[in-house]
Amino acid sequence: MKTFRAFPLFTVLAGLAHAQIIPAKPASDHDEPLALETMVVSAGPDRKSSFDLAQGTAVLASEQLRRSVAATLGDTLAAVPGINATAYGPGASRPIIRGLGGDRVRMLDNGVGALDASSVSPDHNVSVEPLLVERIEVLRGPATLLYGSSAMGGVVNVIDNRIPSAAPAHALGGRAEFRYGSASNARTGVLAVTAGGPTRALQVNLLRSETGDLRIPGFADPANPADQGTLVNSAVATKSVSVGATRFGAAGNIGVAVGEYATVYGVPVGEPIYIDLRQRRADLRAEFTRPFAVFKAAKLRFGLADYTHSEVDAPTGRPNTTFRNKAYEGRLELVQRDTGDLTGTVGLQASRSDFSATGAEVVTPPTLTANHALFFLQSYKTGPALTLQFGARWEAQSIRLGAVGPSLPAYPGYAAASGGKRADQGLNLSAGAVLYPAKDYSLGLALACTRRLPVAAELYSNGPHGGTGAYEIGTAALGRENSLGLDLTLRKRAGFVTGSAGVFVNRIKGFIFGQRDPARYFDQGTEAFRAYPVPPGDSFLPIYQFIAKDAVFYGGEVELALHFVDTNSSRLHLDLTGDSVHAQQTTDDEPLPRIPPLRAGAALRYSTGPWNAGLGLRHSFRQGRAAPGETETAGYTLAGADASYRFTRSRVEWELFVRGSNLTDADARVSTSFLKDIAPLPGRSVTLGVRATF
């Protein structure tokens, strides 16, 4: 019998719809929208409130971002409803949205691609430094068509001030920060400086961070009693530097930035291996704001990157495998003049990626991937109670194979890559509606028909992959994934109860994933495929082949805030969150791999004057629906607390902060991680820091 794990969220939807707008006592002397009046930059041509969007969104900025920020982007977003993380140790963690990850989640750096290799393997980190970020926006639904057909799961847009977006208010300003974390002896320093005047601005960002091996509760691997209390080979060292400048004029602005992100981090897989990653990047942003023809503005974004990372054998210092990606991406958006109640944008996008891997662990041949796309997004307000949103994107992709490396044993049915070119194209459509049934309520409905083109790893893999602990086999005959997704989101923005609750269903025809071969394994000693069982003492890898089967994802998210005190001087509120996702093949009801469990959380926050403090609990339930070859994952509860104090001295605003994580020292293992059986989350940790804004 099938069960719908998100069913309790319908109760939340109903309860939210009937919540009375009763002011908390003592009553606030202002009626400002609270939790949901968040402006979203990435959702269209103009900033929009999340209250007015058909699709679900999440935004981390200001105080909430400062409380949540972590060393990796995945860990920074991991507590947001609907978002989990790959959790591949302290050095690499990528967001997972509603059970979808990898290439199905589009990573953006200020509106263009991250231009790294993080979607290729879970041990590859996203080339973004969260401590230098000003806001993070997560999009689903119609607006994702602005950024790529691969964004079936969603879009994560990381926004910083690397290229200044506005003229500075003072000739010189910025911020400096230092923090220390006890779980890994982490030391991090940040300096961001802005200088300029009414017509020009200069931005310099610097970061340096070093950690030791991570302290964990109990054993990393219960089968290995030697690994107790420490996650061996998990140290991280990171440097980031960028310089940007913008010129502002009456007709718009133009800005450029150059920077380098470099990190070295251990891979806690048992073998002494570390990754040495470096990305050099240049960006251009131009905005023309003088109306012309039927348009009121034009926006240009362009990014160019040279990415390299080596997987290095620690004892010898020699790289086993080196990955390179030379890539660019550009997009031009033309913003229409407002025509009555119709607003929108049209645009084009182009990208190119020259990816290669050399060395001992070459899973895919060199590939040259090119994408070209045309898109539009429109919004039509039919009246005060209804707004319609619709969009389309046509995208063409070509993959050209380079020279194939040394041959490996022929897996039955595998079609070896032999050079040549593969071309695909797809049309993606979306539609949405926002209904305003009552004051301070909105109901968003979004429908998306998406066609995702397979990537090179799914088509042409053939070899042992240390990041997944498997021998991976591609399938060159794979076709497009066809997805039909439906979102329903109810929001309430004022009163004693504010928040949002939503449900979703996503049916995918031809969903591509790695399926384990139950009959054979790869013998690493003889480099041959053999039949199970594995003889004692043999070193082996399970075999996973990329196949396509129909699948369904469904679930929901909820974020509620109960405002007990809301005055100009003090606020006390209780935040309640939860999410659920259920994913399975529709042919045989088998679970799909690495799906997040049901989660629930609560946090009590109080602020008065210069003080801000909070206590929180987050529980992840047991994940008993394991795919073939996986193990079940136990539930766990994480307890946290934080406090901060602000004061001003000599025109400098200072903030002292402390944050405690996993205060009960729980053994927490993440069902979405390839390393869950050998690498738990950090143990009890206290972070101390000071931040100065000048």
Three-state secondary structure along 253-306?
A: EEEEEEEEEEEEEEEECCCEEEEEEEEEEEEEEEEECCCECCEEEEEEEEEEEE
Task: Please state, in angstroms and rounded to a whole number, the distance separating the CA atoms of residues 327 and 357.
Answer: 15
Q: Determine, yes or no, domain membership for 429.
A: yes
Check: pTM over 0.75? Answer yes or no: yes
Q: Determine, yes or no, domain membership for 138.
A: yes
Task: Please state, in angstroms and rounded to a whole number, the distance separating the CA atoms of residues 306 and 611.
Answer: 44
Q: Determine, yes or no, domain membership for 606.
A: yes
Residue 430 structure tokens: 């979306």
Three-state secondary structure along 344-380?
A: EEEEEEEEEEEEEEEECCCCCCCEEEEEEEEEEEEEE
Per-residue confidence band for 140, with pLDDT thresholds at 50, 70 and 90: confident
Element of type H or E holding 492: strand 481-492
Q: Determine, yes or no, domain membership for 2.
A: no
89 touches 234 (CB < 8 A): yes
**Nearest in space to 91 (alpha carbons), one of 311, 281, 238:** 238
Residue 518 structure tokens: 């139950």
233 touches 220 (CB < 8 A): no
Q: DSSP 3-state assignment of 82?
A: coil
Q: Determine, yes or no, domain membership for 1.
A: no
Least confident range from 23-27, 193-197, 659-663: namely 23-27
The residue with tokens 């990393």 is 220
CB atoms within 10 A of CB 51: 23
Q: Name the phi and psi angles at 66, rounded to 5.
A: -65, -35
Task: Please state, in angstroms and rounded to a whole number, the distance separating the CA atoms of residues 337 and 343.
Answer: 7
Q: What percent of the chain has pLDDT above 90?
A: 76
**In the chain, how many domains are there?**
1
Task: Please state, in angstroms and rounded to a whole number, the distance separating the CA atoms of residues 234 and 381.
Answer: 52
Q: For the domain that residue 77 is a member of, what is the CATH number?
A: 2.40.170.20
pLDDT value, residue 214: 96
**CA 205 from centroid of its chain's CA atoms:** 22
Alpha helices by DSSP H, 110-183: none
Residue-wise DSSP of 451-475: EEPPPHHHHH-EEEETTTTEEEE--
pLDDT tens figures, 372-415: 999 999 999 998 999 999 999 999 999 998 866 555 667 776 76
Dmax over Cα atoms in the chain, in whole Å?
A: 76
Q: Determine, yes or no, domain membership for 271.
A: yes
Residue 58 above 80 pLDDT?
yes
Residue 679 above 70 pLDDT?
yes
Residue 120 structure tokens: 């290729």
Q: What is the mean pLDDT of residues 434-443?
A: 96
pLDDT tens figures, 454-506: 988 899 888 888 888 899 999 989 999 999 999 999 999 999 999 999 999 99
Residue 238 above 80 pLDDT?
yes
pLDDT tens figures, 177-217: 999 999 999 999 999 999 999 999 999 999 999 999 999 99
What domain range is 132 assigned to? Answer: 7-693
pLDDT value, residue 559: 97
Residue 170 above 60 pLDDT?
yes
The residue with tokens 């995918």 is 508
Q: Which amino acid is located at 396 in the chain?
A: A
Q: Determine, yes or no, domain membership for 114.
A: yes
pLDDT tens figures, 306-324: 999 999 999 999 998 999 9
DSSP E strands: which ranges in 567-610? Answer: 570-585, 599-608
Q: Determine, yes or no, domain membership for 399.
A: yes
Task: Please state, in angstroms and rounded to a whole number, the distance separating the CA atoms of residues 78 and 90.
Answer: 13
